[in-house]
Amino acid sequence: MGVIAKGAKCNVDGCTNDGTRSLNTARVETAGLKVNSTGKKTVLCKSHYKEYKKESKDDRALERARYDKF
């Protein structure tokens, strides 16, 4: 967990920063970030991850649902 393939870039539309976090695409979109990722996983750079965290503070229930799924 938390390991990003070398060279992975942030998937937020228009962002070209290096990715630091890999997250569920649906969750990132729910947080209001526009991503160009088509897969289940979205890579976020440091600053967009911060933004994502800010928008999804109250997501403990979601987090649990996510783990239940796997």
Out of 4, 8, 17, 62, the residue judged to bind Zn ion by CB under 5 A: 17
15 binds Zn ion (CB under 5 A): yes
Q: Which residues inside 30-59 make contact with Zn ion, applying CB under 5 A?
A: 45, 48
From CA 65, how far away is CA 61, in angstroms rounded? 6
In the complex, least distance from residue 63 CB atom to Zn ion, rounded to whole angstroms: 21
Residues that bind Zn ion (CB under 5 A): 10, 12, 15, 17, 45, 48
